[in-house]
Amino acid sequence: MPEYLRKDAFIKIADVDLEFEDEVGFNMIFFYNTLDRGEFVGHEDKWVTVNDQKVIEYGKEYSNDQLNSVFKIMPNAIQLPVDQTRLLQSKPTKMVIAQRTNNGDDHKGWSSIVVIAKDYSTPTRHIHASMMFKVSIGDDYNWTKWVQAKILLWEGDPGNQVEYALVGNDVIDQLAYIHEPENPLKFLNLEDETRLTIF
């Protein structure tokens, strides 16, 4: 079991406040024990779905819609590839300052398997949304328009090297912004049009 998944399984099982996640951790341990015993031979090109420490099915990696449907029926299920070189990794991600809104009480819409950051803060773990969210970025006074995005968050305790919460790969691409000298990143609204036209 990769170290970051071992750590995640331990946290899920040991966290008293989130007992519903225990089974996710046990499912991860079951998957890797089964893999180590060679019981997935012949399924090297498959993804394995595990629930209640039993193999549910072999198949292709679930789409986000399929994953959300599975979570409605089996909220603690996991899906991992037999070929460990196909483990999920985060794509390079743009950063914005944002407030973490998921307090861990609601697992719907979030993947049960963490992934490792490939860029900023490697090897910090990310928790991925498995459904689209609407995101607005602001400072309590001014806010951007709402945009749809797949988002991801830092793990609960990412360490001192992480200065920002993380909002998904394509949020900034959907918003108009500028970076003027000696000023922070500014998201634009209609009030900026006249000034920037002159500029």
Angle in degrees, CA 105, 111, 116, rounded to 5: 110
Task: Give the residue ranges of DSSP H helices in the chain.
Answer: 3-14, 22-36, 64-73, 193-198
**pLDDT tens profile 93-134:** 544 433 344 444 444 577 777 877 776 667 777 777 777 777
Assign 69 to helix, strand or coil: helix
Structure tokens at 65: 């819609």
Model pTM score: 0.60
d(CA 21, CA 111): 12
**pLDDT tens profile 81-99:** 999 998 876 665 544 433 3
